[in-house]
Chains A and B, each alone.
Chain A
Amino acid sequence: MNNPLKYLGRLLPGARSGGRAQPASRHSAAGAGWRCLFVTGLLAWAGALRAAGIEVVDDRGVTVRWDAPPQRIVTLLPSLTETVCELGQCARLVGVDRYSNWPASLDKLPRVGGGIDPNVEAIVALRPDAVLLAQSSRVIDRLEGLGLKVVALEPKSHADVQRVLGKVGQVLGVDAAQSQRVWRHIDAAVSAAAQSLPARVKNTRVYFEVNRAPYGAGTSSFIGETLTRLGVQNIVPAHLGPFPKLNPEFVVRANPDLIMVGDRNFEGMTQRPGWRGIRAVREDRLCVFPDAESDVLVRPGPRMAEAARLMARCLQDKAP
């Protein structure tokens, strides 16, 4: 760590000679002054290097810089809030959006609106040195115009969760190794959830309804990726995109063995025309997740291991 300084000392003997007085001409005195200034500059430069001036490229491709790791952070997306906390830096959060509800320790923090309708004034009043938000947020330009440092990150897939963990870790000045460790832990837990399933579950054909429009979770979605890792089949093929709006008749025809749906969207599902004939409905193979669990399932964030465990539990209880 001190290497640069030692090296510097060797380079500049005058700096090392310290207090010993020398008969000096005006010229050499001026030379010493310059040398001194040079040393101070180099020292300052080395200092800046040591304090690890931070540079992060966010999802917009914008490079954001800090001289020191930011200590006052506002997040406007629940999955980003969860990522910060998962990295053990919850204490640095000074404000979150109104939908961030995990971990419970956030309850005491001020709410600064939602991702769609954030309260710019409230955010600025918190004097954050970093604002983490989704790329789609309308508030980015406004906040940057007000001189705040904004990092737009939008996790949408398993790979994104890993990437965002790394990026948020960089912003927070967390050791890269630690971010990696957190990711490996999550990844291993998902694998463990998959391995906990008995072989009979493997070919279950699952329909995950995201909401009652109906939008289904496709194979290429975050939820679909988890289902794939659990080794079950998804009735919504990848080519339809992550969250396609389906014709309800498609689900009847696909005849899934099991349906996963949030409590909020379940009401009336079995009364839809023709849905009584679906195997999952006929044999009551329906996993209806309460709100708190739905949050875990639909957020592409560090709780994806818990999501995998919830799905695995559902499959164990209800799969044929």
Chain B
Amino acid sequence: MSPGNSAAAHPAAMAPMPRPVTRALSLAVGLVLLGGVLGVLGLGVGSTGLEAVWTMLADPVAAQIVWDIRAPRTVGAFAAGALLGLAGAVAQGLFRNPLADPFLLGSASGASLGVALALAGLGVSPFATQWVVRLGLTGAAFVGAVLAVLLTLALARGVQHTLRLLLAGVVVGVVLGAITSLVTLSVPEILQAMQAFMLGSTGFVGWASCLLMGGIGFVCLLLAWGLSRVLDGLALGEATALSLGLPLVPLRAALVGVLALATGTAVAQTGLIAFVGLAAPHLVRAVVKTTHAWLVLLASLMGGVLLMLADTLARGLMAPQELPVGVLTAVLGGGYLLWLMRRRVG
């Protein structure tokens, strides 16, 4: 077979492939632009469906709705999605497993248990109520998520063994989930509130939450970016990574720290939003094959845009009722991923 024939059989190979960096850069720019458009759209979509923002700004109540509710909510959706996307990219790199998601180390079930206990504790005794009020549901969720990851680490006896870490995470997730169910069943008044937490919501994100998520997201992104060489090394296998002279144990511990912090922050503010963390890195990889330094950034942007889109739809589709945003992320992210897979097979 002559070289000419083979090139004719694969016309795509004839076109000069853009360099991965160029592709990555253009994807980043594209996502930022899309995010900007969605952000503007997000200001106009609310309990009355789509409406013009400039007419709303004339009315003080409507203006307050735009600036104090919709704007932080939209920005918050981006920030939470970015945190989850980042955590997903880190988790998949760290565990060298395409099915890894941010909730793998038990943070989701820990956060649920925290929220369930806080909700159940409200009104049990003045003392408990006082504590719950001081900590807030957000605080309870964050504490729960962090404690669950620490428990996983303790059970896995450190971060050396990937498999042990994974198994410990699964065990912690299942056990804490069971305890959460127990708490929920014994105090049925919290059943619906728990259900809402499980499906995630961006409805109550204010500017303070945005600032918090933005700050932590920025720190996590910097850390993950700095540690991206470890992830690249791990992608070649642990032995190779070791032979590259990387001090794996402390660096992995740092990565687990980033994962836990990013996930815990997002979960505390918005509840368990499914699939963003899992899908965002895959969606990026479907477009561009690149190093982890780019992947963590692009997965963050992708996660943010995905959650913004889901949030806008959640508000708009059945206004003034709201769909659970987690349902929409699963439908959107899952649907797109399936389509990509089918296209590649075809």
Contact yes or no, A249 B47, CB < 8 A: yes
Consensus secondary structure, chain A interface: mixed
User: Smallest CB–CB gap between A172 and chain B, Å?
Assistant: 27
A262-B189, A290-B123 known; 19 other A-B pairs, CB under 8 Å? A114-B188, A213-B192, A240-B320, A247-B319, A247-B322, A250-B47, A252-B61, A253-B47, A253-B48, A253-B61, A255-B61, A263-B122, A264-B189, A264-B190, A267-B129, A267-B133, A271-B206, A273-B205, A274-B65
Identify 28 residue pairs between A and B in the complex whose beta-carbon atoms are under 8 Å apart, listed by A's number: A116-B185, A211-B189, A211-B192, A215-B192, A245-B321, A246-B320, A247-B46, A247-B320, A247-B321, A248-B203, A249-B46, A249-B65, A253-B48, A253-B61, A253-B62, A253-B65, A263-B122, A264-B119, A264-B123, A267-B132, A267-B137, A268-B136, A268-B137, A271-B206, A273-B205, A274-B65, A274-B68, A277-B64
Interface flag for B223 (CB, 8 Å)? no
Contacts of B150 in A (CB 8 A): none
Query: Which residue of chain B is the closest to A269 with respect to CB atoms?
Result: B204
Whether the Cβ atoms of B193 and A213 lie closer than 8 Å is yes
Query: Which listed segment binds A: B17-25, B69-77, B80-88?
Result: B69-77
- The 0/1 profile, CB within 8 Å of B marked 1, for residues 107-125 of chain A is 0000000101100000000
**Chain A minimum-CB-distance residue to B60:** A277
Which B267-322 residues sit within 8 Å CB-CB of chain A? 315, 319-322
Instruction: Judge whether B185 and A117 touch: CB under 8 Å.
Output: yes
Q: Which residues of A contact B195 (CB under 8 A)?
A: 213
CB distance from A251 to the nearest CB of B (A): 8
Structural contact, B64 and A213, CB atoms closer than 8 A = no
Residues in A with CB closer than 8 Å to B136 are 268
Kindly supply a per-residue 1/0 record for chain A positions 227-253, scoring 1 wherever the CB is within 8 Å of any chain B CB and 0 otherwise. Answer: 000000000000010001111111011
Contact flag A244-B196 (CB < 8 Å), given A99-B188, A116-B185, A273-B72: no
Q: Interface size of A by Cβ–Cβ distance < 8 Å?
A: 35
B132: A residues at CB distance < 8 A: 267
- Chain B neighbourhood of A117, CB < 8 A: 185
Q: A170 in the interface, Cβ–Cβ < 8 Å?
A: no
Contact yes or no, B207 A273, CB < 8 A:
yes
CB–CB A291/B47 < 8 A: no
B188: chain A residues within 8 A (beta carbon): 99, 114, 116
Most buried by A among B48, B201, B320, B322: B320
Cα(A255)–Cα(B196), bound, Å: 24
In the assembled complex, A10 has its CB within 8 A of some CB on chain B: no
Chain A proximity of B51: nearest CB distance (Å): 11
Are B206's CB and A212's CB within 8 A? no
Q: A215-B192, A267-B133 are in contact. Are A273 and B68 (CB under 8 A)?
A: yes
Residues of A within 8 A of B204 (CB): 248, 272-273
Q: By the criterion CB–CB under 8 Å, are B193 and A211 in contact? A: yes
Output the least CB separation between B344 and chain A (Å).
37
Docked CA distance A269–B251 (Å): 42
Q: Are B69 and A213 in contact (CB under 8 A)?
A: no
CB < 8 Å neighbour of A263 from B48, B70, B72, B123: B123
Q: A116-B185, A268-B136, A274-B69 are in contact. Are A213 and B47 (CB under 8 A)?
A: no
Residues of A within 8 A of B190 (CB): 264
B64 touches A252 (CB 8 A): yes
Chain A residues, Cβ within 8 Å of B189: 211, 262, 264, 291, 294
Cα of A245 to Cα of B323 in the assembled complex, Å: 8
Whether the Cβ atoms of A252 and B65 lie closer than 8 Å is yes
Whole-angstrom CA separation of A247 from B111 in the bound complex: 23
CA of A117 to CA of B184, assembled, Å: 12
Q: Given A114-B188, A250-B320, A253-B47, answer yes or no on A265-B203 (Cβ-Cβ < 8 Å).
A: no
In the bound complex, CA of A236 to CA of B195 (Å): 22
What 10 pairs across the A-B complex have the smallest Cβ distances? A213-B196, A273-B206, A250-B47, A250-B320, A274-B68, A274-B69, A247-B47, A247-B322, A249-B47, A244-B321
Residues of chain A from 256 to 289 with CB closer than 8 A to chain B in the complex: 262-265, 267-268, 271-274, 277
- The answer for the CA separation of A105 and B325 in the assembled complex, in Å, is 45
- CB neighbors of A among B137-185 (8 A): 137, 185
Among A213, A263, A271, the residue within 8 A (CB) of B201 is A213
Q: Which residues on A sit within 8 Å (CB–CB) of B320?
A: 240, 244, 246-247, 249-250
B322 and A245 form a contact (CB under 8 A): yes
Q: Which of B174-230 contact A (CB under 8 A)?
A: 185, 188-190, 192-193, 195-196, 201, 203-207
Which of B69, B129, B206, B207 is close to A249, meaning CB atoms less than 8 Å apart? B69
A291-B121 Cα distance, complex, nearest whole Å: 12
Measured CA separation A273–B269 after assembly (Å) = 13
Set of chain A residues within 8 Å of B321, measured between Cβ atoms: 240, 244-247
Q: Of A212, A248, A249, A290, which contacts B193 at CB under 8 A? A: A212
Given the complex, which residues of A lie within 8 Å of B73, measured CB to CB? 273
CA distance A273 to B138 in the complex (A): 14
Which A residues lie within 8 Å of B322 (CB)?
245-247
Given the complex, which residues of B lie within 8 Å of A240, measured CB to CB?
Answer: 320-321
